[in-house]
């Protein structure tokens, strides 16, 4: 856009002068070329031949994000989906109408191999890193098409891990296709009327076995994201011939179904309504009634939750991709704006306090980025059977950890980012509020912060402490590398101290068991995330070709409280009285009412 000078001849009406208000628009550049940290990471860790090829493609793709995808994403935001339930003559249609840009995003996703790349494995284990880097570049521009892509990736992962059994061969080949005419997206229908976190007790959908071995599903799915998808994976309880079902987690099995038949007719599904949401406006999120949906059982009976966990791992990784990418997008826009916008006689860039704010945002985004890339690297190793047991433990731990931590960071950083634009950040037509709104969902879908904190504990307990051992030894190994650089010495020591305090805390809590740890679960998870983010930044800053910015980032990150669980413990947050004190504080109401609580 041409620069706006806001110079008007004095001869014009005074009124014109007061109504004309013009600021230069921040620019979305090529997100690959503008991201030195991403380039530095890929150059350092990818084998050089892989880096050369990948870099060329990412630069090309970055230009496509800037020149094509970003405007499609905006169109998706401004043209949300509609549900046409009936035709003019009362015939039930249940048609979700999406805009052309949303459909185009599906084609582009196939053309660009946004799913295929991870499953073709052209670059062996590095293919995952490559795919994640591509998703990261386009996530804030893609009009939330990254939501169906997350579930599509998750479904492909589940099917692959099952050995691609016969009823799923076609689905797998379509989910991982580069042919836009063939490409399918998948849903993940987990949430029912009784809630989304407690899947084991909230799932009411039942499955009746049919004579041909398939099942017919009956129930209500309360939130289904990207309901225009071609297929889905979903949970249900198998009903016995006597009409009995088993309650709880052990009663759940995993099913695959196609949403529509070849003629576009819904498969025993009614779309009740589309949801009114705070954000993710382009995504059709629907309430569904399943009334005889034909489905294939794809897990062992009663193993539904464990089987869908593979999908959750992938969708949680995608959540991290978007959380980090949204932070980065805000920072890129704000730093460009800071070169253009003048206040108090100089560009924002010349105000040290403003630069400090942006630098703090950047430190958060960089730590989050390394957590993301570490997960991508480990996932790639797992998928090519190259992972050690320690790698597998780290992947299990880092997935919920990074999901919960980066989602919270994304809300804070995008909120701070809005402020960097002053009042303009609050204006709908700048597109900036949408970034903030969409960041907020990252803390909720795919498991809230508390559910993910409990999943961190689950990973420790289920592995009988091996996950924690892997964490401690991996952190130590990385700190050892960093400790040989004198410039990093004080920060390495800070990380060591945090690990020491963490060790003491774990020892103290070990006698209290899993239940005793619950109150500390969130602070414990934050501690692991902060320590590991710091350790990764220190390792990154210890590379021979590390930049001054890499070293400064590691310093800044390590100067935050790396062990909040220790601080909170000392403050009595997990003591015997803590839970009841919390409740009294929350319900600090009129004594008459108190008696009724």
Name the site residues for ligand UCC (rule: CB under 6 A): 146-147, 150-151, 188, 190-191, 196-197, 199-200, 225, 249, 305-306, 309, 312-313, 315, 318-319, 322, 445-447, 451, 455, 458, 462
CB of 400 vs ligand UCC, minimal distance in Å: 6
Tokens encoding 16: 């014109």
- Round to whole Å and give the CA distance between 58 and 70: 16
Torsion of CA 298, 301, 303, 308, to 10 degrees: 30
Give the nearer residue to ligand UCC in terms of CB position, either 283 or 502.
283
Shortest distance (Å) from residue 151 CB to ligand UCC: 5
SS3 content of the chain, % helix, strand, coil (to 5): 60, 10, 30
Identity of the residue, 226 or 488, whose beta carbon is nearer to ligand UCC in the bound complex: 226
Pairing of strands 252-258, 346-347: unpaired
Q: How far is the CB of 202 from ligand UCC (least distance, A)?
A: 9
φ, ψ dihedrals at 123, nearest 5°: -110, 35
Distance CA 24, CA 2 (A): 8
First to last CA, the chain: 60
- Alpha-carbon gap, residue 259 to 313, rounded angstroms: 23
Question: Would you say 274 and 282 are in contact if contact means Cβ atoms under 8 Å apart?
Answer: no
Integer Cα distance of 122 and 105 in angstroms: 24
Q: Which residue is nearest to ligand UCC (CB)?
A: 249
Smallest distance from ligand UCC to CB 469, Å: 18
Burial class from Cβ neighbours inside 10 Å (0-12, 13-18, 19+) for residue 596 reads exposed
Cβ-based nearer residue to ligand UCC, 315 or 474: 315
Q: Are 413 and 483 in contact (CB under 8 A)?
A: no
d(CA 228, CA 415): 31
Report the residue number, 191 or 553, with the smaller CB distance to ligand UCC.
Answer: 191
Angle between helices 389-419 and 521-541 (to 10 degrees): 90
Minimum CB distance to ligand UCC, residue 476 (Å)? 25
Q: How far apart are CA 343 and CA 341, in angstroms?
A: 7
């Amino acid at each position: 856009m041409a620069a706006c000078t806001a110079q008007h001849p004095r001869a014009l009406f005074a009124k014109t002068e007061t109504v004309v208000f013009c600021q230069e628009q921040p620019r979305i550049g090529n997100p690959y070329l503008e991201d030195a940290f991403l380039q530095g990471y890929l150059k350092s860790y990818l084998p050089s031949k892989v880096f050369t090829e990948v870099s060329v493609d990412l630069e090309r793709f970055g230009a496509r994000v800037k020149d094509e995808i970003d405007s499609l994403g905006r169109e998706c935001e401004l043209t949300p989906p509609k549900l046409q339930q009936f035709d003019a003559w009362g015939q039930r249609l249940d048609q979700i109408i999406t805009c052309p840009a949303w459909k185009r995003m599906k084609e582009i996703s196939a053309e660009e191999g946004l799913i295929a790349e991870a499953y073709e494995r052209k670059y062996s284990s590095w293919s995952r890193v490559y795919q994640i880097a591509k998703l990261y570049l386009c996530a804030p521009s893609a009009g939330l098409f990254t939501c169906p892509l997350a579930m599509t990736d998750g479904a492909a992962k589940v099917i692959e891990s099952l050995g691609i059994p016969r009823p799923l061969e076609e689905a797998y080949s379509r989910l991982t296709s580069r042919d836009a005419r063939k490409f399918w997206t998948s849903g993940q229908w987990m949430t029912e009327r009784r809630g989304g976190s407690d899947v084991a007790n909230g799932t009411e959908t039942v499955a009746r076995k049919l004579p041909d071995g398939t099942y017919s599903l009956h129930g209500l799915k309360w939130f289904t994201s990207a309901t225009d998808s071609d297929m889905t994976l979903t949970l249900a309880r198998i009903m016995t011939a006597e009409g009995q079902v088993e309650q709880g987690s052990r009663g759940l099995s995993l099913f695959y179904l196609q949403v529509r038949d070849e003629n576009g007719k819904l498969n025993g599904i009614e779309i009740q309504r589309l949801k009114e949401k705070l954000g993710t406006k382009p995504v059709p999120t629907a309430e569904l009634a399943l009334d005889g949906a034909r489905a294939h059982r794809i897990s062992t009976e009663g193993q539904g939750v464990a089987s869908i966990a593979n999908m959750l791992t992938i969708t949680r990784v995608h959540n991290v991709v978007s959380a980090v990418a949204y932070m980065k997008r805000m920072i890129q826009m704000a730093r460009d704006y800071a070169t253009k916008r003048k206040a108090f006689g100089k560009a924002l860039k010349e105000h040290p306090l403003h630069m400090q704010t942006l630098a703090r945002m950047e430190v958060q985004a960089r730590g989050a980025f390394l957590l993301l890339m570490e997960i991508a690297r480990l996932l790639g190793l797992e998928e090519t059977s190259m992972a050690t047991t320690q790698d597998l433990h780290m992947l299990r731990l880092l997935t919920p950890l990074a999901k919960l931590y980066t989602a919270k960071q994304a809300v804070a950083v995008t909120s701070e980012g809005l402020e960097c634009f002053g009042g303009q950040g609050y204006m709908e037509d700048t597109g900036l509020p949408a970034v903030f709104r969409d960041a907020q969902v990252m803390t909720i879908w795919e498991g809230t912060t508390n559910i993910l904190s409990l999943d961190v504990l689950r990973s420790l307990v289920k592995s009988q402490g091996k996950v924690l051992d892997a964490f401690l030894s991996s952190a130590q190994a990385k700190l050892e590398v960093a400790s040989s650089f004198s410039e990093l010495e004080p920060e390495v020591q800070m990380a060591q101290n945090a690990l020491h305090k963490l060790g003491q805390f774990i020892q103290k809590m070990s006698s209290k068991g899993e239940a005793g740890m619950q109150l500390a679960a969130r602070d414990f998870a934050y501690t692991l995330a902060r320590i590991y983010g710091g350790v990764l930044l220190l390792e990154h800053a210890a590379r021979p070709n590390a930049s001054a910015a890499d070293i400064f980032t590691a310093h800044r990150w390590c100067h935050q409280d790396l062990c909040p669980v220790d601080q909170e413990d000392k403050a009595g947050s997990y003591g015997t009285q803590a839970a009841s004190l919390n409740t009294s504080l929350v319900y600090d109401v009129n004594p008459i009412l108190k008696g009724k609580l």
